[in-house]
Amino acid sequence: MTLALVGDIGGTNARLALWRDSQLSAVRVLPTVDYATPADAIRTYLAGLNQPVEALDSVCLACAGPVQDDEFRFTNNHWRISRRAFSAELGLRHLQLVNDFAAMALGMTRLDLADRVVVAQGEADPDSPCLVIGPGTGLGVAGLLPLKGGGWRALPGEGGHVCVPVGSAREAALWQYLSQQVDHVEAESVLSGRGLLTLYRACCSLDGVEPVLQSPAEITGAALAGDAYAAGVLEQFCAWLGRIVGDNVLTLGARGGVYIVGGVIPRFVDFFLASGFLDAFRDKGRMSRFLEAVPVWLVTADYPGLTGAGVALEQLLEDG
């Protein structure tokens, strides 16, 4: 029996699963820091299932970063992978490396209605692209393009590294402070897990507040528990996300809708839905009406990136 394996590898975790009959099975999450290479993590995963490495035939890995040449370097962890060496080491017939947010985008094509929460009502244009965006270890951005005759094509990019927009005097002050700390104030600087902590410390510095919270989880927990200052920081996080999402919708022409994904926002869904995200999203002057028609969903599915890697593998095998 041959095995098909899919992986969704981010800065912190490698999510691995078997792909059988267009479904995920045996999902496991392994910390990337615990393994020297992706191949080591896969061997550990298969050993835990009592499956021999020799049975492995096809692999698709969704990788955080731009996927181009033979050697790939992960953006937010220490792993590297050579397509040729990796295939030879594991004895693979088929290997597919895809950008992690391209896989995330493809995962939206298999999403159940129960796996998304409506953030903004709208009428999706079935002939227009969709935007897939979300903060996690970094900030991922991808497009999803409908094809004539059915099917979808993912459009990967590195939109998490665009400049942070400034839409208020407060944001201008925060940008100025951040520009003194880093060479490039990119969206990911504030719109990610570690970005939330950076944003909190920047706010504290500007306001003369002692920074007592030491992690993104502590900031979120304090905000949800009623800490007014932490709630203000989280509100700024949501507003800045709204601006970035709106910019991307206008750039892509994403009238097909927006899928907000990643591991950060699902931790405070009710807060997010009540935040100023939508006001910031639509705050585009004469283009605000364009954005009012665009539906927005928050994705709560457990492993959409893994599912998307499976879809990408199916496409590879179907194409021969």
Annotated binding site for ATP: 7-12
Burial class (CB in 10 A: 0-12, 13-18, 19+), 54: exposed
> First vs last Cα of the chain: how many Å apart?
20
The answer to whether 70 and 83 are in contact (CB under 8 A) is yes
- Give the span between the Cα atoms of 310 and 62, in whole angstroms: 10
Greatest alpha-carbon pair distance for the chain in Å reads 63
Query: In 3-state terms, what secondary structure has residue 163?
Result: strand
- Give the span between the Cα atoms of 228 and 245, in whole angstroms: 26
- Residue 67: which of 154, 190, 139, 180 has the closest Cα? 154
- Residue 151: which of 183, 105, 196, 198 has the closest Cα? 105
CA distance readout (Å), 99 to 81, 96, 107, 299: 13, 10, 12, 19
Q: Which amino acid is at 291?
A: L
- Give the span between the Cα atoms of 245 and 126, in whole angstroms: 19
The answer to whether 124 and 137 are in contact (CB under 8 A) is no
Annotated binding site: 7-12
Within a 10 A sphere around the Cβ of 311, how many other Cβ atoms?
A: 25
- Give the span between the Cα atoms of 53 and 122, in whole angstroms: 48
- Give the span between the Cα atoms of 183 and 179, in whole angstroms: 7
Instruction: Count how many Cα atoms sit within 13 Å of the Cα of residue 149 in the half-sphere of its side chain.
Output: 0
